[in-house]
A and B are shown apart, each in its own frame.
Chain A
């Protein structure tokens, strides 16, 4: 089969599991959403990132259909929806992480501070420093805790000497609420930490390069409830400095951490609004069915 060779490029990588849509999983939902228009207001007054009429294709598969959505400065926006709805694909298109999937094509405008991130001459390395990402499974480098955090600042030349680097490492670990637990073992391997600590290490690594936006793709799905609560607490603190977009399968988590929630279904952005409104009085039947656990 022609497609099978391409599929091997879609194996889970260190960049996290590939979105279900890309992996060609069968989605047992045949709702016709082609005529649906987004309910609610996808636009905000102070957008950090803005997506307009974004379409994403995996070869012939139309994974994201005409999605327009703003991500406001210093807000936490949660993206929810059933498997294969396109939420991870959309998240990954925000820092061009989809570029690593060869069959993937992105149409439409995505801007960061008004600047087209898919424009010619855009350096994806610099883009991903400004728009960092935290994945589902903690993926620290097989290096020491210190080096995990120092890696980004080093390749971006953010520190001029050892003292400055120490400062960046400490501050990043403090902001990720990990400093107190690791300050005496900075030379130990990052992979030796617990799952929750590893995930906070990955968050420290992401914020070490002073990004403006942090994308989180189900950051707590591999963690226990206590580690999850710590990450959620952290997200709340991080939103003072960063803009955060989070994809989660846990509706309670979306309700707890975000100010706005976007509901995706079969590649369409169905509804977006204040998180409180979405969880108490959603306007669209599909949103209601999903968050209340009804079949579609």
Chain B
């Protein structure tokens, strides 16, 4: 059982953007969802944990490994799938995995070969192993990505926005793979897709503008909103009125008409109906709250 403890991480980019503001989190084995809108600082946090970026202050420990100061030791037990996973041109899938396996320190050639074959089979790419990865579809590429992240029995797996751009089938397959490995090790899944977290994670945090605005289980998050979320279909022209009058947490199109969710301790009347809160509501509540307060 491993424990990842992040305390008071701060990072400000040279252009003044505050990417991380006093971020503290604690997580252990299992899937951990990190939810947040684009630009919330998820990738900055991921990169810091993946030893790719220096933090200005704070600390992060994986058991007794000091992530910020002993990058090499972290890298030995790290599997990382970045947001943008590109590949070299003119290199086949098994060549690529073999290269990364070497870099991860698997020096025995036959072991490496066996491992690469195993992983390729696991991600269902064994038959394409000698084809150029550059020509793979987005989903196949992403599977290569997960395969490389699994090389070398990592204890900490970080996947940054892995399902963006995948079709539902690919996405399901991907989730199954993750769930399989997530039982044994810490998996951090960063995403802005609420469903990903709902389907996979036991623990979660929501980030916005560099800060952690919620952390806990998805269940607790939902419970806190129980009975406070109301829904109504409206006309497009009425949108502004409602936004002024109510605390609107989301609006989206349903069957061609805008449907809004509002947050209210009591029944707002005016035709609103109560709905069971979902993670999306949690997400919007947390992130909007920040935005309006700020």
Do A and B pair up? The answer is: no
